[in-house]
Amino acid sequence: MRPIIKVENIAKRYRIGASQAAYQTLRDTIAEKVRTPLRRLRSGGAGARAEESIWALSDVSFEIEPGEVVGIIGRNGAGKSTILKILSRITEPTLGRVELYGRVASLLEVGTGFHQELTGRENIFLNGAILGMRRAEINAKFDEIVAFAEIEKFIDTPVKRYSSGMYLRLAFAVAAHLDPEILIVDEVLAVGDANFQRKCLNKMQDVRESGRTVLFVSHNMTAVTRLCQRAILLNEGRVMEDGPSHQVVSAYLSSGLRATSSREWPDPAEAPGNGKVQLRSVRVRTEEGANADALDIRKPVGVEIEFDVLEPGHVLAPNYHFYNEEGVYLFMAAERDTAWRSRPRPAGRYKSTAWVPGNLLSEGTMVVSVAVSTPEPVAIHFFERDVVAFQVVDKLEGGSARGDYSGPMPGVIRPLLEWETEYTPAAGAGALSGGQTA
């Protein structure tokens, strides 16, 4: 069968200067033009700034057949979003060529172009047009969209009065009724409550069954394995694996591409954070203080964060988000140290460690995202996804929830529970056993 998407050796270079400064001022450009004519002449112009750029993608090729649903996975910065942006024609590749044999709709965020002041009805038309729908097409699907979003009563209310749930439902409803041959979706499922996510996943399943081609970027490994037959794993802008999604997902999870139990940002320019707070390091440690990749299921696991407060006077709470290898969100934990609760912090370095009790996590890989935020009013100073990961291992030495059982144990947590057992002898049995022992 002929492919519907043909990606040939695409590469994308970003200028670091451009991404950091966001834009240049006229003065800078003039100054630079005056300063660099000689350098430009010598090196032939274009290549002069090669050292100041990074390749977000290099030599990426793949083909996708009609009707395939393909997941694109990889850790942050692997080039996933860049690929989607190239395929949806938002940005151009630096090298290479892509051929698309069908109409493309891309959904890099829900509600692109929604305007707060406009009503639900008006936004459906506006958003539909932005996503490439014809007016006649929107008219024809209007009732369906409204019904899917469950906002019949509020259709003529400005969306600024919508709850966030209604807003998301409406935004997704418009996108879900696009009718392209190729659908490109980025992480939209990461928003909304569980109900909404389920609805989105079901809709995606419908899309798949209707024979459309879908490209889907996600951190949610459960969603990728469930929705996609095939997955492509990217690392540092290159294709690492391409094959059946469950194989690629498990290769990803075990490859150490994201499983590192300690991370440091020695260079403040690269550290996550804003002008107020900056991340220094995160590590997973044992009670004895050693760094650890694999931890005994019976022992507490310490997750330690070091961060600098650059601007004093903010109430801050570091918080952790634990996920398992399938991307299931296990729990969130925020610092509860009474010394710093509701108390503005002076500038300086802080180190906090949270202890996850032994016999709570299940076996397998746990992935931690970290953030530092201000609780009231809510402000997130940084939120770094999938920073560290560690293995939880049951050595089968007893003392864990397994007991003497060594087979597979399902479940996202594995607490060691207190069991109480009462025994009441059966009427006849007591006499019999009594008789035997006697």
Partner 1 sequence: MRGLSTREETSALIEPQATNAAHGSPPPLSTQFLPEKPVVIIEPSRKGAGLGLRDLWAYRELLFFLAWRDLKVRYKQTVLGVLWVLLQPLLMTIIFTVFIGFLVQVPTQGRPYALLVYIGLLPWTFFSSAVLQSGTSIVSNAHLITKVYFPRLIIPAAAVTARLVDFAISFIILAGLMIYFRAGLTAQIALVPALILLVALLALGFGMLVSALNVKYRDIGVMLPVVLQLWMFVSPVVYPLTLVPEKWRVVYSLNPVVGIISGFRSAILGDAFEWHALAVSAAVAIILPIYSAYLFRRVERGFADII
Hey, which residues between 168 and 227 contact partner 1 (CB under 8 A)? 181, 208-212, 225
| 3-state class (DSSP) for residue 18 | helix
State the minimum distance, in angstroms, from the CB of residue 22 to partner 1: 7
Cβ of residue 120: shortest distance to partner 1, in angstroms? 14
Considering beta carbons, is residue 96 or 300 the nearer one to partner 1?
96
Stretch that binds partner 1, among 140-148, 229-237, 319-327, 378-386 (CB under 8 A): 229-237
118 vs 416, beta carbon nearer partner 1:
118
Range 317-346, binding partner 1 (CB under 8 A): none
Q: Which is nearer to partner 1, 225 or 261 (CB)?
A: 225
Shortest distance, position 27 Cβ to partner 1, whole Å: 7
CB 130 to partner 1: min, Å: 6
How many CA atoms lie less than 13 Å away from 120 in the CB half-sphere?
26
Q: Which two tokens stand for residue 6?
A: 């043909």
Considering beta carbons, is residue 75 or 230 the nearer one to partner 1? 230
Closer of 197 and 250 to partner 1 (Cβ): 250
Q: Within 13 A of 356's CA, how many CA atoms are on the CB side?
A: 30
C-beta of 423: minimal distance to partner 1 in Å? 46
Pick the binder of partner 1 from 60, 72, 73, 86 (CB under 8 A): 86
Cα distances (angstroms) measured from residue 27 to each of 33, 48, 423: 10, 20, 87
Residue-wise DSSP of 226-259: HH-SEEEEEETTEEEEEEEHHHHHHHHHHTTSS-
Alpha-carbon distance 88 to 174, whole Å?
18
Min. distance of Cβ 243 from partner 1 in angstroms? 5
Which amino acid is residue 309, in one-letter code?
V
Cβ closest to partner 1, residue 152 vs residue 209: 209
Nearer to partner 1, 79 or 358 (CB): 79
Pick one of 73, 83, 100, 173: the residue that binds partner 1 (CB under 8 A). 100
Decide if residue 160 touches partner 1 (CB under 8 A).
no
Strands 5-15 and 95-100: antiparallel
User: Contact with partner 1 (CB under 8 A): which of 89, 161, 198, 341?
Assistant: 89
Using CA atoms, how far apart are residues 395 and 295, in angstroms rounded to an integer?
10
Which string of x and - marks every residue 46-65 that binds partner 1 (by CB under 8 A)? ----------------x--x
Per the listing, tokens 């931890």 go with 295
Sole binder of partner 1 in the list 77, 113, 300, 364 (CB under 8 A): 113
Distance between CA atoms of residues 367 and 384, nearest Å:
12
Determine the Cα–Cα distance for residues 304 and 324; give it in Å rounded to an integer: 18
Instruction: Based on the shown chain and the rule CB under 8 A, indicate whether residue 155 belongs to the binding site for partner 1.
Output: no
> Which of 134, 161, 198, 341 is close enough to bind partner 1 by CB under 8 A?
134
Closer to partner 1 by Cβ: residue 66 or 300: 66
Q: Binder to partner 1 among 55, 125, 142, 382 (CB under 8 A)?
A: 125
List the one residue from 39, 43, 54, 99 that touches partner 1 (CB under 8 A).
99
* Per-position DSSP letters for 43-86, written without gaps between them: HTSGGGGGGGEEEEEEEEEEEE-TT-EEEEE-STTSSHHHHHHH
When the beta carbons of 104 and 279 are compared against partner 1, the nearer one is 104
Angle between helix axes 164-176 and 135-149 (nearest 10 degrees) is 140
Residue pair 68/232 in contact by the 8 Å Cβ criterion: no
Amino acid at residue number 325? E
Burial 143-165 (b: 16+ CB within 10 A, else e): eebbebbebeebbeeebeebeee
Q: What is the rounded distance in angstroms from the CA atom of residue 232 to the CA atom of residue 70?
A: 7
- At 283, which helix (H) or strand (E)? strand 277-285
Rounded to a whole number of angstroms, the minimum distance from the CB of residue 167 to partner 1 is 15
87 contacts partner 1 (rule: CB under 8 A): yes
Binding mask 3-42 for partner 1 (x = CB under 8 A): -x-x-------x---xx--xxxxxx-x-------------
> 135 vs 341, which CB is nearer to partner 1?
135
Among 33, 35, 42, 97, binds partner 1 (CB under 8 A): 97
Of 243, 289, 344, 434, the residue at the interface with partner 1 (CB under 8 A) is: 243
CA distance 366 to 393: 11
Minimum distance from residue 58 beta carbon to partner 1 (Å): 14
Q: Do 349 and 280 form a contact (C-beta atoms < 8 A)?
A: yes
SS3 101: coil
135 binds partner 1 (CB under 8 A): yes
